[in-house]
A and B are shown apart, each in its own frame.
Chain A
Amino acid sequence: MALTDVTHDAQDFVPPAEVAEEELYHPKTWLGKYVFSQDAKIIALQYSITAMGVGLLALVLSVLMRVQLAWPGAVSFITPDAYIQFVTMHGMIMVIYLLTALFLGGFGNYLIPLMVGARDMVFPYVNMISYWIYLLAVLVLLASFFTPGGPTGSGWTLYPPQAILPGTPGSGWGITLMCISLGIFVVGFTMGGLNYVVTVLQARARGMTLMRMPLTVWAIFTATILALLAFPALLVSAIMMSLDNLLGTSYFMPAIISLGQQLDHSGGSPVLFQHLFWFFGHPEVYIVALPAFGIVSELLSVHARKNIFGYRLMVWAIVVIGGLSFVVWAHHMYVSGMNPYFGFFFATTTLIIAVPTAIKVYNWVLTLWRGNIRLTVPMLFAIGFVFTFINGGLTGIFLGNVIVDVPLSDTYFVVAHFHMVMAVSPILAVFGAVYHWYPKITGRMLNDGMGKFHFWVTFVGLYCIYYPMHYLGIMGVPRRYFANEGSNGLPDWIPESAQMVNVGITIAAICVASTQLVFLYNLYHSATRGKPSGGNPWGATTLEWQTSDTPPTHGNFGKELPSVYRWAYDYSVPGAEEDFIPQNVPASKKTGQAT
């Protein structure tokens, strides 16, 4: 950073803006304060706890799936129907009800107002309603476990016609409740999402220009816009499928003979559903990936005590990735059959998306380069994210090409790819973020030893899980299969030794899953018995660490909103007293600015 280039035309001190007393709703009852709260920070915790609770269920489902794959038939209640129901619910819960809700509803709610220097979201009441509607969506989804036939077993992609035909488990109540739950989720999310976007646009503190915003805010902001534009596709397809299912329309249902009977449907297009679904589904990948990008940028910069490399390019890359994510969706449909020119188009756009993504990866690595790296737990998770994201991203380049995708489609290679790139990577970012911001939320540090144990078992363990899956996939082991004709539950053409791999994966999965209990215990234990953290334990520059109280009270910043004088990444500025200068420090203090 060429600091000598700085022209000193800055005002030395700017008096704080006249901030009118904001009309915050101050609840008087316990119920209004902690349950029906309109404070974005409480709503964030409600979102996070609900999401993590339902995510825990999805984790258990995945372990059950692994147990069946390693030791077919060992657990009696894992029937073929139950297995595919677990697959479906695991996928849907993890993608939508955990990751989307946690990143946008959880981190978005907590971090946006604090990081941009606002008192709260712009419409706190709508924000509160958003959470309760999300909770309703979760409850409707969970209710499907208790209906006749159980939850839907159509795969998380819910492809018709099989999703609503009697051969598929949960084709009655299950799929109906799934569609209703998704519809409710979209409505609730839209209420929250509008809040996040408008808060970033309208409620920033004085001096917080768009290009001074932390990358976390940029990323969550862009991801929310993607979600607002993509979720309508899910809503529309859920409604249309429900009408096909309940009222006998034929949007998606072709003429079909099911269980020997000609059904009333005719002429519908299953591929139309796929287009609608993936028009939502691909942006969804970036809805969970972009916030992870932003958070990791933050963590790397703070814990390497170095400004983020190429801030502008990072912002541009976020925006470009967001835009491109809407023109790649059909790469999920190569095997559905399409005009070869379309395949060519979608393969090209898919590969182009690697350019801004690679820029981000280079910038992360260059941020670390010659930084004062502190291997704190959040930093470990952030570096783990970069590794894992590179691995998952590279196999994406394989699968983005039609001719490579066709033979690998529906094998474990695909499972390995998308878990690495959009399941495990974002979860690593989530863990990093929790370890990083937990001191702000509770005022206490998480236990370091437990954190390191959690990191290493999770990080090494997930490589033990997903690396071998690539190998299984290349051998041709199909995904979503309960068991096959072969003696070991694998297809006949697969060598016996592959089953050993399956057993190994399952053991690793059980280890990783049970280690999450350590994490949960750490969250619980440290909330009361952790080391007091103080207001800014990491020496970070962004506004959430400059609040007068920790944890921040309702209204976030005490009497006066902060004024922002600089970007979010003034770390190790030459000549400055400390190795960080908070965003709200005016230029007159010794800031290392050339004069």
Chain B
Amino acid sequence: MSVFRTLSTKPWVADRGYISDSHGFSSPTAKVFLSIFLGVITAVFALLTAAYFIRMAYADWQSIPVPALLWLNTAILILSSVALQWARTSARREQAVGVRRGLLVGGAFAFAFLVGQFLVWRQLGSLGYFVDTNPSNSFFYLITGLHGLHLLGGLVAWFRASLRLWRGADVAKIRMSVDLCAVYWHFLLLVWLVMFGLLLVT
């Protein structure tokens, strides 16, 4: 593997005086930046999951009912991701209309998802499942809250990209932003599916 080959070079002997142009990843810097950031977010949710399982083993744990609305929200988030993928593909083909529509629909669905999640909170609250009622509730609110916050952060990036597009920026110029948004959306969808699965099976 190239990592091992890299790490086993002898810089003091083999290649003194030699220069090679190949270094760094071939993907753009912003993308590398985002990938590592996704790694950090993965660490956050992985730790939450670990804590979830540890806390679940205690006697007072009572599973929280899963409101039907969560299924709808999940579908909305999937649609949001699909729409952004549409924008991404259109951006690659330099089709401004597709990018606009994709961004708009994707963003709208993301907002709808957040509103939906908030409604789920309200629903659970009205049924008496508050954040401090049971540890499973606490984890539910914490996980959905953190996930929502991450999506909200994504919407800031989405807003900036959209604003530039509407102010007449070239599609080629915002292609990277659209690309990054789409990747981030897919990642948050994946996180949500895993977290939702966790809620369903426990």
Nearest residue in A to B54 (C-beta to C-beta)? A272
Q: How far is the CB of B37 from chain A (nearest CB, A)?
A: 6
B24 touches A203 (CB 8 A): yes
Nearest residue in A to B138 (C-beta to C-beta)? A249
- CB-CB under 8 A from B39, the residues of chain A are 228-229
Q: In whole angstroms, how far apart are the Cα atoms of A270 and B58 in the complex?
A: 12
Q: In whole angstroms, how far apart are the Cα atoms of A135 and B108 in the complex?
A: 36
- CB-CB under 8 A from B20, the residues of chain A are 207, 209
Nearest residue in B to A272 (C-beta to C-beta)? B54
B29 touches A211 (CB 8 A): no
Of A93-101, A234-242, A411-419, the one touching chain B: A234-242
> With A202-B24, A268-B135 in contact, do A236 and B32 touch (Cβ < 8 Å)?
no
Of B6-14, B76-84, B111-119, B182-190, the one touching chain A: B6-14
A123 touches B44 (CB 8 A): no
Is A512 close to B, CB under 8 A? no
B40 touches A232 (CB 8 A): yes
B51 touches A236 (CB 8 A): yes
Q: Which of B12, B19, B138 contacts A206 (CB 8 A)?
A: B19
Q: Which of A10, A206, A233 contacts B47 (CB 8 A)?
A: A233
- CB-CB under 8 A from B8, the residues of chain A are 312
- CB-CB under 8 A from A504, the residues of chain B are none
Is A496 close to B, CB under 8 A? no
Which of B6, B12, B13, B24 has its CB near the most chain A CB atoms (within 10 A)? B12
Q: Which of B178-200 contact A (CB under 8 A)?
A: none
The total of chain A residues at the interface (CB under 8 A) is 69
Chain A 81-92 per-residue mask, 1 if CB under 8 angstroms from chain B, else 0? 000000000000
Nearest residue in A to B24 (C-beta to C-beta)? A202
> With A202-B24, A267-B60, A272-B51 in contact, do A211 and B33 touch (Cβ < 8 Å)?
no
Chain A 151-175 per-residue mask, 1 if CB under 8 angstroms from chain B, else 0? 0000000000000000000000000
Q: How many A-B residue pairs have CB under 8 A?
A: 155
Nearest residue in B to A319 (C-beta to C-beta)? B7
- CB-CB under 8 A from A10, the residues of chain B are 15-18
A228 touches B40 (CB 8 A): yes
> With A269-B55, A567-B11, A587-B17 in contact, do A236 and B36 touch (Cβ < 8 Å)?
no
> With A5-B13, A249-B135 in contact, do A11 and B19 touch (Cβ < 8 Å)?
yes
Q: In whole angstroms, how far apart are the Cα atoms of A17 and B23 in the complex?
A: 13
Q: In whole angstroms, how far apart are the Cα atoms of A204 and B146 in the complex?
A: 35
Q: Which of B7, B58, B132 contacts A316 (CB 8 A)?
A: B7
- CB-CB under 8 A from A325, the residues of chain B are none
Q: Which of A491-547 contact B (CB under 8 A)?
A: none
Q: How far is the CB of B156 from chain A (nearest CB, A)?
A: 13
Q: How far is the CB of A449 from chain B (nearest CB, A)?
A: 37
Is B165 close to A, CB under 8 A? no
Q: In whole angstroms, how far apart are the Cα atoms of A236 and B18 in the complex?
A: 47
- CB-CB under 8 A from B6, the residues of chain A are 209-211
Q: How far is the CB of A158 from chain B (nearest CB, A)?
A: 16
Q: In whole angstroms, how far apart are the Cα atoms of A240 and B9 in the complex?
A: 46
B25 touches A211 (CB 8 A): no
Chain B 138-168 per-residue mask, 1 if CB under 8 angstroms from chain A, else 0? 1100100010000000000000000000000
Of A190-198, A354-362, A456-464, the one touching chain B: A190-198
B12 touches A1 (CB 8 A): yes
> With A10-B16, A207-B19, A249-B131 in contact, do A190 and B32 touch (Cβ < 8 Å)?
no
Chain A 165-190 per-residue mask, 1 if CB under 8 angstroms from chain B, else 0? 00000000000000000000000001
Q: Which of A190, A212, A267 contacts B59 (CB 8 A)?
A: A267
Known: A11-B18, A251-B51; 18 extra A-B contacts, CB below 8 A, are A10-B16, A11-B17, A12-B17, A194-B33, A198-B29, A202-B32, A233-B47, A248-B132, A249-B138, A250-B60, A251-B139, A264-B132, A266-B60, A268-B55, A269-B54, A312-B10, A315-B7, A593-B16
Task: List the 7 closest A-B pairs by CB distance, nearest first.
Answer: A587-B17, A10-B17, A267-B60, A567-B11, A207-B19, A249-B138, A248-B132
